[in-house]
Amino acid sequence: MPFPQFDRSRLKLKPLSERVHDLTVDSFYRLDDPIPPFDHPALDVIAERIIQARRNGAPVLMLMGAHVIRAGVSRFLIDLMERGILTHIAMNGAGPIHDFELALIGATTESVARYIREGQFGLWEETGLLNEAIKRGYEQGLGMGEAIGKFIFEGDFPHKDISILAAGYRLKVPVTVHVGIGYDIIHEHPNCDGAALGATSYTDFLILAHTVSQLEGGVVLNFGTQVMGPEVFLKALAMARNVAHQEGRRIDRFTTAVFDLVDLGEISGEPPKHDPRYYFRPLKTLLVRTVAGGGESFYVRGDHRLTVPNLYRRILERL
């Protein structure tokens, strides 16, 4: 006998016009805005590696948490995609939600503390349209990122110029979405289709694995994703190396760079298990284990609102 399930038909959704937003496009950088200073010795090296990778035809993959979008730096990432510098962006499931809402109404981000008390957190009518885009993409055999990007690019979205996913669709640059079931607010909605969600995100995982299979000589940037980024990269790299070894190839020489706020102190290999840093996945996965065969890694501690535009500036100086 099956276990009882929650009846989603009883949920009450409200329009986004009734939600108080903590972030609007007015706070987003424009490309010609003055860039606040931020210096780190690794930035110049990372920028040089990125340029070198692209000149050699190797990919530059960016793994990112949703807070990167909330930092207001989307225009820098879109410009790097347009210039052929960023060749793949991988997001967690919250990324497309902020990207979609910003493209639609020019605002995003609700107070969890406020809306969870009244049982309204995440239950907004227009945001649920993402589920329709995902189902449509599922029927067309698309990955989640391409399906949402297509939906935004072809739809009536007044601020689509700031959408990373729409830019990916327009430029034919993969923007993949890697979700965990139940992690994101659109999973609350009555129109969420678990089969479509899983299938489209798994397609995106295979797209990511293909990019990683070409990573020799390339660069992996990990901005603010402490679980999704390191974990999906680790599995994709295992798959890519498995096939490469059968073909007599290696995927060892590449550069990884982690950008985060955690104070890691001096990094000298993998920390022991009694050290709390051992459980910080970007450290052991991206800075140590995956580059052990001949790659090199860097850690830059700083706010994304500072690190992204300053890395962008250094890249443009070298073009």
Q: How do strand 60-64 and strand 175-178 relate by DSSP bridges?
A: unpaired
pTM: 0.96
Q: Report the phi/psi class of residue 114: left, alpha or beta, with left for phi > 0 and alpha for psi in -120 to 50.
A: alpha
According to the model, what pLDDT value does residue 269 have? 85
Bridge partners, residue 255, by sequence: 219, 296
Spatial neighbors of 52 by CB under 8 A, at least 6 apart, are 217
Contact between residue 38 and residue 313 where contact means Cβ atoms under 8 Å apart: no
For helices 94-105 and 144-154, what crossing angle results, to 10°? 0
Helix/strand/coil (H/E/C) assignment for every residue in 104-157: HHCEECCCHHHHHHCCCCCCECHHHHHHHHHHHHHHHCCCHHHHHHHHHHHCCC
Q: What share of the chain is helix, strand, coil (3-state, %, to 5)?
A: 50, 10, 35
| Series of mean pLDDT values for 10-residue runs along the chain (319 residues) | 92 97 96 94 98 98 98 98 98 98 97 95 97 98 98 98 98 98 97 98 98 98 97 98 98 98 89 90 95 96 98 97
- Are the beta carbons of 72 and 27 closer than 8 angstroms? yes
**One-letter amino acid for residue 56 of the chain:** N
DSSP of 58-110 = --EEEEE-THHHHTT-HHHHHHHHHTT---EEEEETHHHHHHHHHHHHSEE--
What's the sign of the alpha-carbon dihedral 269, 213, 309, 70?
Answer: negative
pLDDT at position 1: 66
pLDDT of residue 275: 87
**259 membership: H or E segment, kind and range:** strand 255-260
Dihedral angle sign, alpha carbons of residues 90, 92, 283, 72: positive
Residue 105 is predicted with a pLDDT of: 98
The amino acid that residue 20 corresponds to is V
Spatial contact of 212 and 266, defined as CB atoms under 8 Å apart: no
Which residues, 6+ apart, have CB-to-CB distance to 59 below 8 Å?
53, 87, 88, 211, 214, 215, 218, 219
